[in-house]
Structure 1
């Protein structure tokens, strides 16, 4: 379907239902869920273990074929956690698995299919053990590219970018672009440049909500219930 044929009132009801689902089914499984969150298709978000903390104004996007999985399997008592800061973006297919501790700071963006883990999950010789686990630290405003893998013991400095498909096995400094397998620094960013972050996007949440509402009303203007049902049952070419 190219065009969204839903009437505006149906679109608003759909968004409210997603918010209700996240509050009713996901929030009780989380140690913390900050205000202003947006979950798209939250029934495709899978949570296991604790503690899992998500900060304010998180945007979490899941799809039927690319579920989001956040899992804590502590290697020892009192170990293991997933902590996401404020304004983070989590795209479809992201997996985060912790045995020791994974901390992701504010304004981070994690792209489609990325995997972050702090453990080997099996020993080299003892395949029944958890293997080695070392905490992962991801600094503010980091962008992790499509299908990248961040492994145990890694620290990624603030503002850095991890290229698509990169395998990060060693720490990456701040203000760098790292790519490849294993990932290596391929570019230095200018720390004197001004970085525009997701926090600025949410600087005025009330105005942002009004702007989105106005945009949705304009896009869906003229849609009717009859037209929506007709396109659901008898989609025509170009719909």
Structure 2
């Protein structure tokens, strides 16, 4: 499709159904989750296991063919935990899997296809058991993980740092820097004296939802029910 042909009222009905799914099927899967939870394509989101907690305004953007997975694993008396701060963005195809503990700081942005796991899941020599191949992951505040970044067990990433696309992080990354490569290494330092404009500013006046609704109404203003049905059942090159 070249554009969204749905009329505004159809889009509102679909959004209402999505909110119903989130409140009745997704929210109960968390141990705790703050207000403002925003999920795109709930059917492509998988939440598995206990110990998953999130703050306010978590944005989980899944997509068809790009499952977002938040999962914890229980091993004996130990159950994995995932703790997500406020205003965090998680993009399509990202998997976050905890055997021990994964902490993600507020205002962090995680691009598409990232993989974060605090365990190797199998021992080097005993392929039937995890043994001690697990250590907590700590991702600081206002961190940005690029597309398909991989964060391995025991890693700490400092506040404000950026991890480049496709990087494989196997050791700690300090605050206020850019790291890239496999294994990831610091390639540039950021100026901590400069102000960072964080995602939280989008929600400062509580008007984001209103502004997005106005934008949607404007973009769909010329769409009609007939035109949308025609595009569904008999699409043309203009659709």
TM range (shorter): over 0.9
Matched residue SS, 2:71: strand
CA contact (8 A) 1:95 1:113 kept: yes
Q: Which residue in 1 is equivalent to 2:66?
A: 66
CA contact (8 A) 1:75 1:133 kept: no
TM-score (norm 1): 0.97
Which whole-Å CA distance do the structure 2 matches of 1:13 and 1:203 have between them? 27
Unaligned runs of 5+ in 2: none
For 1:138-149, list aligned pairs within 5 A: 138-149=139-150
Indicate yes or no: 2:165 matched with 1:151.
no
Q: Which residue in 2 is equivalent to 1:115?
A: 115
Indicate yes or no: 2:24 matched with 1:24.
yes
Matched residue pairs, number?
Answer: 238
CA apart distance, 1:108: 0.5
TM-score (norm 2): 0.97
Indicate yes or no: 2:3 matched with 1:3.
yes
Q: Which residue in 1 is equivalent to 2:93?
A: 93
Q: Which residue in 2 is equivalent to 1:83?
A: 83
Which whole-Å CA distance do the structure 1 matches of 2:205 and 2:49 have between them? 34
Which whole-Å CA distance do the structure 2 matches of 1:17 and 1:53 have between them? 24
CA apart distance, 1:50: 1.0
CA contact (8 A) 2:72 2:79 kept: no
CA contact (8 A) 2:113 2:149 kept: yes
Q: What do residues 138-179 of structure 1 show as CA deviations (whole Å, max 9, x unaligned)?
A: 000000110010000000000000000000000000001000
Q: Which residue in 2 is equivalent to 1:213?
A: 213
Q: Which residue in 2 is equivalent to 1:224?
A: 224
Which whole-Å CA distance do the structure 1 matches of 2:12 and 2:188 have between them? 43
Q: Which residue in 2 is equivalent to 1:171?
A: 172
CA apart distance, 1:14: 1.1
Which whole-Å CA distance do the structure 1 matches of 2:149 and 2:75 have between them? 24
Q: Which residue in 2 is equivalent to 1:135?
A: 136
CA apart distance, 1:105: 0.8
CA apart distance, 1:78: 3.9
Matched residue SS, 2:75: coil
CA contact (8 A) 1:87 1:108 kept: yes
For 1:49-64, list aligned pairs within 5 A: 49-64=49-64
